[in-house]
Chain A
């Protein structure tokens, strides 16, 4: 018995090392889970306050750029506004008229970024709005220039956001250009997913090779997601390649959001999302009944 104790005493450093490494990998495993519930991240109040403080001087130095971005956004909003004012009269409302509840389902909240990373394989952003301000897990996050990500967890005053620069985040996106717009049924839907390398580029897959797509086309969020409004910019296509044996293009998109300089973001709340999710998960009838 005393020999056993001596052995343990001799190997105590090694045992401590192994024990702590096991703890570390347990944490890593837990952190990779899609809904990590540990408060062991930047939504922890003290951590977030420190980060907010250390970011404040950077905010000051970027005021000039921020102003420019806000002005640019104002301009696009004006333009959109004018477009819709005309659209109300122009479109044939007999074909499809969205009712007002559906058209007004999105609401926006402004939040300040207190921490963000772009250089890791799984990147997150911390914002200064939490459950107290109506934030909920699963809400979309956009910036004045494009898509940012989705809320992963909330504390009372802060939320942690999956950046689209995350190895397990996928986004339903759509390519738009003039030739696709002419045919009402020819839409080019795809899935955007980051490959973990360059924080300025994202990969777009599952768009088949016969769609008329060229370099320079815009990529925006599609109608087929309940998180973001349709038409939020993702980026511009900078490279298209296709392998003869494969059905899909390989597309590289330059992101329109500059993740390195994120300061303010909008959190998007879709009031009808729960209803849609409930419907999509509801049990289905096995045989469609006929009238």
Chain B
């Protein structure tokens, strides 16, 4: 990756964190749907980024969010897992292309259907992990699943909107 790209990504990291902490931390819908827009940073890191760096950056952004949510480790654990699984999902979704030639992780590069599938699969994994780690037990299974699914819809809609309109 060139140095301009690194700086660009660093800028994105700050923007995602800012939006998460200042706006989406308080924009909770009906106690069940949360928007964790910062996962967008992990999902749209350029494909050239090595898996090693994806995992490390996921951990760091998760940890930064934890600081503001008073949940030391919970977001970091879920997003590290997301960073690790991202590579596998990308390879799975682009398996028909053969090899990893010119994979572009964006709406234009993936096509609508692939883009939504990519988003929904990874965001669902992340949110289920997040909420189950946060609760720490399975006593309120229905509530936890409801929270996760409500948040998946919310997060996917917001990330898609940002990606399409603001970039």
- Which residues of A are in contact with B by a Cβ distance under 8 Å? 12-14, 16-17, 20-21, 23-31, 36, 38, 40-42, 44, 47, 50-51, 54, 58, 115, 117-121, 124, 126, 160, 167, 196-199
Of all chain A residues, the one with the shortest Cβ separation from B69 is A117
Q: Chain B contact residues (Cβ within 8 angstroms of A): what range?
A: 35 or more
Residues of A within 8 A of B134 (CB): 120-121
A–B complex contacts, Cβ < 8 Å, 20 sampled: A13-B84, A17-B84, A20-B59, A21-B77, A24-B77, A24-B80, A26-B73, A27-B66, A27-B76, A28-B73, A28-B74, A50-B21, A58-B26, A119-B34, A120-B69, A121-B134, A121-B136, A126-B70, A198-B31, A199-B31
Write the B102-143 contact mask toward A (1 if CB under 8 angstroms, else 0). Answer: 000000000000000000000000000000011110001001
Cross-chain contact B87 with A160 (CB below 8 angstroms): no
**Inter-chain pairs besides A117-B69, A117-B70, 15 sampled, C-beta below 8 Å:** A13-B87, A14-B84, A16-B52, A23-B59, A23-B73, A27-B66, A30-B73, A36-B72, A40-B72, A41-B70, A42-B70, A51-B21, A115-B70, A126-B70, A196-B135
Nearest chain B CB to A126 CB, angstrom units: 8
Residues of A within 8 A of B140 (CB): 196-197
- A30 CA to B135 CA in the complex, in Å? 15
Cross-chain contact A124 with B70 (CB below 8 angstroms): yes
Nearest chain A CB to B81 CB, angstrom units: 7
Nearest chain A CB to B36 CB, angstrom units: 12
Contacting B55 at CB < 8 Å: which of A13, A23, A29? Answer: A13
Nearest chain B CB to A35 CB, angstrom units: 14
B68 is an interface residue with CB less than 8 A from chain A:
yes
Nearest chain B CB to A4 CB, angstrom units: 19
- A58 CA to B72 CA in the complex, in Å? 25
Cross-chain contact B68 with A13 (CB below 8 angstroms): no
Of all chain B residues, the one with the shortest Cβ separation from A198 is B31
Q: A13-B52, A119-B28, A197-B140 are in contact. Are A51 and B77 (CB under 8 A)?
A: no
